[in-house]
Structure 1
Amino acid sequence: MKDHTIDYKLYLVTNRYDYSDDQFLDIITTACKSGVTLVQLREKSVSSKRYFELALAVKKITDRFNVPLIIDDRVDICLAVDAAGVHIGDSDLPVTVVRQMLGPDKILGVSVKSVERADEIITQGADYFGVGAIYPTKTKVVTKHTSIETLKAIVSRVNVPVNAIGGIKEHNIKTLQGSGIAGICVVSDIMQADNVESKVKQLLQAVEKII
């Protein structure tokens, strides 16, 4: 059954960069132990078998710390490992179709870049929106800039939690003050941190001041 008390405050989106599997999993372990509230496993260019194996390994960690695991794009991988949910973008299956495939009890997140898109899909079964990219990002994901004004407009029009994503780092979190977001999605500021534990705690302190 879906947990309606999900904490979206500090949402880690993974990127493996050039890490070994052990290094990658160690970062996720430290991040979960230090206070991230959600983890999204994002893999754009691996085989289904590899994605499945990574998802199983990550889920062992997130389960240990009672952190929900979200799978990027792949409904089949989400269902195969019994993850908490899936996150989809514009190039994935329609929101209504994904909701049907997931059933009512899994979390469904959707990337949104405009008010028009938010209006179009708000009644189609999404549990939260990821809005951005708010700032430029170097991840291997094609992004389109979304202004903070658009972010605020989307928050004001929808009845689901909204997270800011895209280039979010400790030093620019304060610019999101007053936007009404439920939390932030962070990639490189955690995945490439010199001290993951310290960085997660600093990010938590910063985001708690603006939500």
Structure 2
Amino acid sequence: MKCAEEYMRLYAVTDRAWVGGQTLYQQVESALKGGVTCVQLREKELDEEAFLKEAFELHDLCKKYNVPFFINDNVDIAIRCHAEGIHVGQEDMAAAQVRQRVGDEMMIGVSVHSVEEALEAVRHGADCLGVGAAFSTHTKADVDVLPEGMMKAICDAVDIPVVAIGGIHKENLLRLKGTGVNGVALVSAIFGAEDIEAECRELKALAEQL
């Protein structure tokens, strides 16, 4: 399944840390109503059974809105819930191995931080790239911010869609203009918002300007 650039425009990555008055399901639905173009389910703490149940529920929800659904890291869950995509980091299974397991139908996203990593991911069959951290971020404490110009260098080097991630919010999103990214992947800027739907509408309008 080819990854379209528009899937990357406003890419929501879930984080249970922000679940409060709404359930994760309700938060994701609010984000979908607000116009997110892709949803990635990231679960680090749930056991396999609970993760799978949630994956099926959220995948069904995304289908209603015609938005692709990615699973973070867990290839087994991605296969079992028939997700449109799987996203892996540098420390996870290599894209070539993931491709052997998921076949040609599923999109593979890979996190990269340099031109070398980006080119290797493409060689191994990645369909899209997550590049960051774009700015300093509280979501992941151990992540380095990309050197000046690196985002553009990566986008220039590859011919697959690229989404920027890391510390992006309304105030700094347009600083990515001119880098060549196809969109932004957001965690707290979406799920930490008081009114997720309204926030996504604003973020989407900004992302369209990239």
> How far off is 1:46 after superposition?
2.0
Aligned twin of 1:45 = 45
Q: Which residue of 2 aligns with 1:109?
A: 109
Gaps of at least 5 residues in structure 2 are none
> SS state of the match for residue 87, structure 1?
strand
AA of the residue aligned to 1:183:
G
Mapped to 2, the partners of 1:18 and 1:129 lie a distance apart of 25
Task: State the 1:3 CA deviation.
Answer: 5.0
Give percent identity, aligned residues only.
Answer: 36
Residues 34-83 of structure 1 show CA distances to partners (whole Å, capped at 9, x for unaligned) of 21000000111221112111111211211111111000001100011011
**Are the counterparts in 1 of residues 3 and 127 from structure 2 also a CA contact under 8 Å?**
no
Do the aligned partners of residues 90 and 82 (structure 1) sit closer, same or farther apart at CA in structure 2, a change above 3 Å counting?
same
Residue equivalent to 1:155: 155
Secondary structure of 2:90's aligned partner: coil
SS in 2 for 1:171: coil
Determine the C-alpha separation between the residues in 1 that align with 2:40 and 2:194: 21
- The one-letter code of the counterpart of 2:129 is F
Distance (whole Å) between structure 1 residues aligned to residue 141 and residue 74 of structure 2: 15
What aligned pairs does 1:1-211 form with structure 2 within 5 A after superposition? 2-5=1-4, 7-17=7-17, 19=19, 23-140=23-140, 142-210=142-210
- Structure-1 separation of matches of 2:142 and 2:53: 25
Provide TM-score, normalisation by structure 2: 0.94
Q: Structure 1 stretch 41-50 or stretch 171-180: which is displaced more?
A: 41-50
Higher relative contact order (CA 8 A, sep 6+): 2
Tell me the SS of whatever aligns to 1:91: coil
- Larger mean Cα displacement after TM superposition, 101-110 or 22-31: 22-31
Contact kept, 8 Å, 1:39 with 1:62, in 2: the verdict is yes
Gaps of 5+ in 1: none
Q: Tell me which amino acid in the other structure corresponds to 1:32.
A: L
RMSD: 1.6
What are the Cα deviations for residues 97-136 of structure 1, in whole angstroms up to 9, with x where unaligned?
Answer: 0011110110100000111211222211000000001112
Output the CA distance in 2 between the equivalents of 1:181 and 1:133.
13
The amino acid of 1:161's aligned partner reads P
Supply the distance in 1 between the matched residues of 2:209 and 2:153 (Cα, whole angstroms).
21
AA in 2 matched with 1:52: L
TM-score, normalization by structure 1: 0.93
Mapped partners of 2:15, 2:58: distance in 1: 13
Q: CA deviation at 1:18?
A: 5.4
Deviation at 1:144, TM superposition (A): 2.3
CA contact under 8 A between 1:148 and 1:176: conserved in structure 2? Answer: no
CA contact (8 A) 2:18 2:192 kept: no
AA in 1 matched with 2:186? V
Aligned-residue offset at 1:141 = 6.4
| Letter of the structure 2 residue corresponding to residue 150 of structure 1 | M
| Shift in CA distance, 54/207, structure 1 to aligned 2, threshold 3 Å | same
